[in-house]
Homo-oligomer: A and B are copies of this chain.
């Protein structure tokens, strides 16, 4: 079956569906309706049905979606029904945190190599991974067929790491450093800088506060 091009918004929602479905599965729940998913995700059930319809007819009226079938299908669409190997550069607190999160993850994205050029980090361990110097990056990426890289170094080192990722053929980068990085067009980069999230959260808080105190809004 030929699949339509999926919008970025839908691609961003699929991991969220997967998360909820994994949770339902772990509680041994076998079917779920779009209404129930809607309540859990604070999304319109019609939106959910539309999103999932991209990939064929999953649901059955009055019965809902088969949880395990939907998990398998979304994993297949996201291509995480196979293991995807990830390299992480920056063995600080954030690097440790991501490795720990990842260790317990049910997804098939696995951080399988960690790098840091600081002498006090090289040779230390994060879980079962030994922190390696950047000179080992190319060898590991080739040997393990790593396609994704995570950057958790300070902002001023981030572009340098991105350049090295690109040079060894990394195709996708998740950047946690608060820096705007330039990479060639064929490399996809996503920013996960939490200060941005905080700032946009602030916008909503304060504006809501204003509305409450602004009596002219009482129409």
Contacts A20-B180, A205-B147 known; A199 to B15 CB distance under 8 Å? yes
Partner of A79, one of B79, B195, B202: B202
Residues of B within 8 A of A102 (CB): 195
Check A202–B101 contact: CB distance below 8 A: no
Q: How far is the CA of A182 from the CA of B188 in the complex (A)?
A: 32
Residues of B within 8 A of A46 (CB): none
Complex: chain B residue closest to A204, CB-CB = B188
Q: How far is the CA of A93 from the CA of B200 in the complex (A)?
A: 24
Interface residues of A in 16-59 (CB under 8 A from B): 16, 18-20, 23, 40-41
> Is A140's beta carbon under 8 Å from chain B?
no
Interface residues of A in 186-219 (CB under 8 A from B): 186, 188, 190-209
> Is A86's beta carbon under 8 Å from chain B?
yes
Q: Can you list 19 A-B contacts (CB < 8 A)?
A: A11-B200, A14-B200, A16-B196, A40-B182, A77-B203, A79-B207, A86-B198, A93-B100, A105-B195, A109-B198, A109-B202, A148-B201, A148-B205, A171-B209, A172-B204, A174-B198, A188-B204, A190-B197, A190-B201
